[in-house]
Amino acid sequence: MRRICLLISSRKIDNRKRSHQECLVEGYIRDTKCEDLAIKEKLERLCKTTTVKTRYTVMSKEILEKYPELVTECSPTIKQRLEIANPAVVQMALEASLACVKEWGRSVEDITHIVYVSSSEIRLPGGDLYLASQLGLRNDVGRVMLYFLGCYGGVTGLRVAKDIAENNPGSRVLLTTSETTIIGFRPPSKARPYDLVGAALFGDGAAAAIVGANPLPGKESPFMELNYAVQQFLPGTQNVIDGRLTEGGINFKLGRDLPQKIEENIEGFCRKLMSKSGVSEFNDLFWAVHPGGPAILNRLESTLKLSSEKLECSRRALMDYGNVSSNTVIYVIEYMREQLKKSGEEWGLALAFGPGITFEGILLRSL
């Protein structure tokens, strides 16, 4: 039986676009020309509760000067948003992929498949083709494009890459995720309260990983095994996370019962994943959980009675980058690499939650 390994993961983020959370409110209120003091005060409260300290964004002063209509309420700007987002997400994916391949140490010609994940671009052909071309991949590289999965897209990408590697001996799969909030940036409105949550929580970025089986001795250094994967949706919850593409960009609504729905179903889902490991206690695992927000992490920690350090990597990723949608779980796993050198757990879980409500999970084994 071939062991499917996460060979290397990396990310590349442009430090020139780093923003500190304490500066966000004044900048957002200024850029959107908002004069409502109540909205400003609410955003200040939200920024404090998210626990986010820094984020990275594509949005800039230059973009707003070129596209002032982005801050005009109800303006049909989907064309302009895609003019910005389409090349931006590929550029971020390119930087992450190049950093990943460099650390992997082999040639891009050895990449046989690419799995491209994004909820931030729309076009035909998709970003997978543009990325493959700019990386110089072979023209017979197998491409899979996963669009608009939201926050669980990174774990889905790992599962799909695992499936490809299992069924194609000798394959090396490049997984790349890339997201920007440009597609949903807009001025605040009391009619859309979730826009403020998005402004306080979400960030931009990209991530990449190489997945394959039977690593080459002396040439590849896997650090984690992708052992077993499960995806599950909760019937009747499709409106709890609701996203709609409109002429003014993408609109999201989150139900207040999202943390509760996750809390009610998470233990059984984790038990299903754990069944393949022989581990029965949650605190004997390491945890790479997509940090959708502090409320979800707090509910997970409380429901499963996890010790406080178990979600440290998830909380750290949220603090350093915000919720970067599909990318974030890769950031968590990268932090986990260093932590596992000290803590020593063998088995762990990668988890993410998104529209559906969809649970996506992978049983991991540290190598």
What is the H or E stretch that residue 155 is in? helix 153-167
Which one is catalytic: 5, 47, 100, 151?
151
Main-chain dihedrals φ then ψ at residue 49, nearest 5 degrees: -80, -20
What is the H or E stretch that residue 363 is in? strand 358-366
Q: How large is the angle between the packed helices 294-303 and 258-274, nearest 10 degrees?
A: 50
Cα–Cα dist 83/15, whole Å: 23
What is the chain's alpha carbon radius of gyration, rounded to the nearest angstrom? 20
Instruction: With beta carbons less than 8 A apart as the criterion, state whether 362 and 270 touch.
Output: no
Instruction: With beta carbons less than 8 A apart as the criterion, state whether 165 and 4 touch.
Output: yes
User: 63: which 2 tokens?
Assistant: 């973009």
5 tagged catalytic: no
Rounded to whole angstroms, what are the CA distances from 136 to 13, 155, 205?
A: 21, 26, 22
The catalytic residues are: 151
